Amino acid sequence: MTAPHECSTSPRYSPSGSGSDATIGGVSSGFILESALMNTLPPHLNGGHFLLAETDPAEVFTPEDLSSEERQIIDTTEKFMDKEVLPRLEALEHQEEGLSVSLFKQLGQLGLHALEVPESHAGLGLGKTVAAGVAAQFSRLGGFGVTCGAHSGIGTMPLTYFGTPAQQQKYLPRLASGELIAAYCLSEAGSGSDALGMKTKAILSSDGKHYVLNGAKMWISNAAWADLFTVFAKVDGEQVTAFLVERNTPGVSFGKEEHKLGIKSSSTRRVILENVQVPVENVLGGVGKGAYIAFNILNFGRFGLGAGAVGGSIEMIRTATRYALERKQFGRPIASFGLIQQKLGEMAARTFAVESATYRTAAMIDAVMATGETMDLTNPPFPRGMEEFAVECSILKVACSEALWHVVDEGLQIHGGYGFSEEYSPARSYRDARINRIFEGTNEINRLFIPSTLLRRAQRGRFKLPTSISEHTAPSASAAPLDQAGELLRGAKQAALWLTGIAVQKFGEGLAEQQEILGAISDIMIEIFLDESALLRTQKAIVAGRPAVAMTDLTLSLLNDSASRMEHRGVLALAASLSGDELQKSLANLRRLLAWTPVNAVELRRKVAARLCEVGTYPALIAGSSKDKENR
């Protein structure tokens, strides 16, 4: 759980001088400037493309594509967690004085805080693909993942992308080495989801040399030990602005450690600002530019949270599998019982889906960032890659956090009464996982953000929302199962856009108040992205001659459940938008688009569970069991 820390989101916002900013459900899409953006990217590198067309499996990055150097970095992180962090779990959970900081600085010596810092500032200049794997390892202990993610993610990235050369030279090398620890201060007691309702103020001094900050920030991760804070305040009570504030600045103080449900090994405190004088050279990105800094950094924060949640899911699968093999009831391991096998199979399927979607998104972000294209309607400009996949980052935030919640819940259930005891790890994992559905914007806010962003893009001609359905052939029952899966997804994409068009026609500007409909459409879009990512990964493995037996079973099991969920959400949206004969006709069209011949999910999950019990871990499951390799 690399959940960097804030409970804030992208709320109502109108960029200064840009006119009204359309919102859906009260949530602005942030700074989406397609109308003046030259589109020079290949189609699959455009955000939301997955809904508009099919993607070639060869264009998708999967965990199997990691280079040997990237794997070595991830393996180094895993070994550090196994040797240095997890053996000290109890001491970390009780915040033993100096321990977290000591481990943090050891990671700095290994270069693990420098992954995404530019080489020009003592970083490694790497991208999201390797960062995703590292985040997954850190988040095997949820609170420790928060500590590391809050630093290297939304703590350091504002400076990386929006800092002046002087600011970057002063701070980035020390952040990359771990000499300094970073934190991000946006939320307040009265402004969580409505982040721009902040009350913290900044007033320019009479001599023009510094700003005086007053206010308090809530839920700030790393507050107990951070050295540098990115603090958001309103200049003259109006212009949201970001400031770099050092810990030892007079007037900076901290509340007591929050008594949290989970992530106890992380620090969460209030940051109090009382007449804090911040030099004008510590304004980040310019006066009045704080909102677009905050919102675009949160895109990457949501990605990091998702990547960390994948690691938490993988760790719980390992723990639950081991326990199911060791625990005997009625004279045999509980892993041999059907309902336990169903749990293990579904845990693996959900993890496979979110892992596939995470690495797919990571590589797309890296590819766009590598072009150097910027959104230059703002000053300073920021990399296009920060905004391009805002929809996909919100999808990951929702899907990965909810997959983790399902996995830890089932893992605890497999442990039975022992799972409810604090002496066993599922209890801690259960508590740690809960925050992820709140971090980086609640899942409800992110669900509204997904369709609102696409509607903004549609207004600018980037999306075409149909109000009628083109010809669609239901998959043949005799077709190969993966071909049927592809046909289902083609129909589902058409259904998602069609449902959106119907809702827009029905409610117009009033759609903002129809959050239930927007949430249902968002859920379908989330299902599509996860399902397609899993399918493309499987297809790519087959073409490459890699072991794909487990991948195929996981994909078909996933699609089998997803088909019914998408239909259920589609029916809800239609019934809330239409009535009478029009509703009946539309329901028939929806079922035609989502036609799916059910597979034997019981058998598929049993097979997955059997392989999982043979190899012991999720990564080994995907790599293929010995029987899989013999049958290739």
Range(s) of the domain holding residue 192: 184-284
Looking at per-residue confidence, does 17 or 225 come out higher? 225
| CA–CA gap between residue 385 and residue 368 (Å, rounded) | 5
> What are the pLDDT digits (tens) for 553-570?
999 999 999 999 999 999
pLDDT at residue 147 tops 60? yes
What SS3 class is residue 266?
A: coil
Average pLDDT rounded to a whole number, residues 485-506: 95
- Based on the domain organization, do 141 and 278 belong to the same domain? no
Question: Of all residues in the chain, what percent carry a pLDDT higher than 70?
Answer: 91
Cα 324 to the center of its chain, rounded Å: 30
* pLDDT at residue 11, rounded to an integer: 30
* pLDDT at residue 627, rounded to an integer: 52
- Based on the domain organization, do 343 and 440 belong to the same domain? yes
**Given 464, 489, 515, which residue is the final one in a domain?**
464
pLDDT at residue 125 tops 90? yes
- Based on the domain organization, do 453 and 534 belong to the same domain? no
CA angle (180, 132, 90) in 5-degree steps:
60
- Based on the domain organization, do 610 and 546 belong to the same domain? yes
> What are the pLDDT digits (tens) for 510-552?
999 999 999 999 999 999 999 999 999 999 999 999 999 999 9
- Based on the domain organization, do 270 and 295 belong to the same domain? no
Contact 37, 31 (CB under 8 A): no
Report the amino acid identity of residue 616: G
Contact 533, 60 (CB under 8 A): yes
- Based on the domain organization, do 441 and 527 belong to the same domain? no
Domain count, the chain: 3
- Based on the domain organization, do 477 and 602 belong to the same domain? yes
What SS3 class is residue 475?
A: coil
- Based on the domain organization, do 445 and 565 belong to the same domain? no
- CATH code assigned at 546: 1.20.140.10
**Given 436, 464, 492, which residue is the final one in a domain?**
464
Active site residue: 315, 387, 410, 440, which one?
Answer: 440
Q: Which two tokens stand for residue 449?
A: 């953000």
Report the amino acid identity of residue 182: A
**Given 284, 313, 348, which residue is the final one in a domain?**
284
| Residue that the structure tokens 């970073």 belong to | 182
- Based on the domain organization, do 162 and 280 belong to the same domain? no
Mean pLDDT, rounded, of the chain: 91
* pLDDT at residue 374, rounded to an integer: 87
Residue 166's CB: how many other CB atoms inside 10 A? 9
Please confirm, yes or no, whether 440 is among the known catalytic residues: yes
Residue 260's CB: how many other CB atoms inside 10 A? 15
* pLDDT at residue 39, rounded to an integer: 65
Q: Which two tokens stand for residue 223?
A: 């507050």
* pLDDT at residue 462, rounded to an integer: 72
> What are the pLDDT digits (tens) for 349-399?
999 999 999 999 999 999 999 999 987 656 667 899 999 999 999 999 999
What SS3 class is residue 22?
A: coil
- Based on the domain organization, do 352 and 387 belong to the same domain? yes
CA dist list (Å): 183 to 35, 151, 153, 156, 175: 34, 6, 9, 8, 11
| CA–CA gap between residue 260 and residue 211 (Å, rounded) | 33
- CATH code assigned at 267: 2.40.110.10
- Helices and strands (H and E) in the chain: how many: 20, 14
Contact 551, 63 (CB under 8 A): no
